[in-house]
Chains A and B, each alone.
Chain A
Amino acid sequence: MVMDVLMSRLELVVAVGDRRTLLRVPVALAPEPGGPDRIGACSPAAEAQGVQPGIPLAEALARCPQLVLVPPDPVAVDRSWEALLIALEGIGAAPEPLAPGEACFEIAGLRRLYRGLDGVIAAVRRAVGWPGLRIGLGPVRFCAQAAARRAGPRRANHVHGQTELAALPVELLLCRDRTERLPAPLRRLGLTTLGDLVRVGRGPLGERFGTSGILAFDLASGLDTPLTPRVAGSELRERFELPESLSGQLLDRVLGLLLDRLLARPEREGRTLRTVVLEAALVEGGTWRTRVVLREATADRERLHLALAPHLGQLTAPAQTLGLFAETFGGPPSQALPLLEDGEERRKARLREGLRQVSAGSGEHALLRVVEVDPASRLPERRMALAPREI
């Protein structure tokens, strides 16, 4: 059985900080610096006035003129979320983070450890310590997600499968990136519940909406992919507290200093950097964060500097602190050059490099390859399969 833990409005609660009374009035997250001009998570009071997360700022203010905007704090959200995931791992769970504030994990092993389901729920609530925590349970991830969205803050909710999903609204598809655009067109077509989707059938949904439609049908039928728990990695993070708020060329120098420190860390063990996160605390309040996937994994200081420095231009205010965080790594850099260049080998190396980039940018499960299983079979479904691509 899968458990889904949901901390709704995590980004807003973290951004509000100690000013908890703000959550009782219409309040929303301001658009991120350098990002689209749309608001983020909003309080229940704001939602009651017709404000929805993701709508343009001007529209939000037109619907609710007294709306209070707080600057987003992605760095603090990241830190809080990491602490919550570590707390879950501390009780023996192997969580799959779905979004900041939501994670799923398998509880078969935990039930034995905590003597039943009630023991597991109590252990999760103790570990997370989040007052409005919602807990959902189901045979697969989507059922658990649906259950968590209908759970109260004190009682866990169960959704056992397709029969219970059938009566639930299509808006539950918003909880997946690949199906989040479907609820609006489905409603226009008169399909309001997940049961309506199942009745329409997999073929027509696939024809109208492509792979998203097929996924929506599978989810509505109570089917989902297996969980992929996160891999605990060694953290490589450098932060520099600036004596005074800086911007422009001076900040560029600080970036160089951070790179020197990061590359000198012994934990790097000679590995190249694949994905780097640059973050800053702004003098006007709030934080800024950007994730840079390098075209080629490298440990060369100059190349890293060239790739990262242009992003400092997105800062909307001088920074008080600047941080650098290595998220994923490439292999160790090759030391020796071959005497004779082999064109085919070089092409294969480039292809492998490209695949690693795709894997770092889109997740390791994005890479699949077609393998022949029984190519001479008269049954088309027995001929080929999609299998994970090892790099």
Chain B
Amino acid sequence: MSRTAPRRLAMPIPATVQAEHSGYPRVVDGALVEAVRESWLVEDRWWSPAPVRRRYWEVVTRGGHNLVLFRDLRTGAWYRQAAMS
């Protein structure tokens, strides 16, 4: 009998983001960004064939949603991610 395979939580979800030239996000999936609460850089797994370089942003949208998003600095793509601290 086959079993359900384990599934990772908080997988990044592709997002449509309009950002300033400096990288500051302005619109996330159609929602205007009201404020940026925090921004940080994550560089990890540099020893592996798939290194990770991400610029994270924690933002508040005009609708009051608190979102965590990041830009993959290797590909330039934007993603949203559930914050699991």
A contact set with B: CB distance below 8 Å: 201-204, 206-207, 225-229, 231, 365, 368, 370-371, 373, 377-388
Q: Bound complex: CA of A377 vs CA of B52, how far in Å?
A: 12
B84 in contact with A228 (CB, 8 Å): no
- Shortest Cβ-Cβ A-B pairs, 7 listed: A380-B10, A387-B6, A384-B9, A385-B6, A386-B7, A380-B84, A365-B4
Interface of A is mostly: mixed
Interface size on B, residues (CB 8 A): 27
Q: How would residues 25 to 44 of chain B score, 1 for a CB under 8 Å from any chain A CB and 0 otherwise?
A: 00001100000000000101
Question: Which of B4, B14, B80, B82 contacts A225 (CB under 8 A)?
Answer: B4
Q: Bound complex: CA of A370 vs CA of B29, how far in Å?
A: 29
A381 in contact with B9 (CB, 8 Å): yes
A229 in contact with B6 (CB, 8 Å): no
A379 in contact with B16 (CB, 8 Å): no
Q: Can you list 7 A-B contacts (CB < 8 A)?
A: A201-B16, A203-B13, A203-B15, A203-B29, A204-B30, A207-B29, A231-B1
Which A residues are in CB contact (< 8 Å) with B29? 201, 203-204, 207
A378 in contact with B44 (CB, 8 Å): yes
Closest to B85 in A: A380
CB distance from B29 to the nearest CB of A (A): 5
Question: Would A381 and B10 be within 8 Å (CB), given that A201-B29, A204-B29, A388-B4 are in contact?
Answer: yes
Question: Would A381 and B7 be within 8 Å (CB), given that A204-B30, A226-B2, A229-B1 are in contact?
Answer: no
Q: How would residues 49 to 61 of chain B score, 1 for a CB under 8 Å from any chain A CB and 0 otherwise?
A: 0001000000000
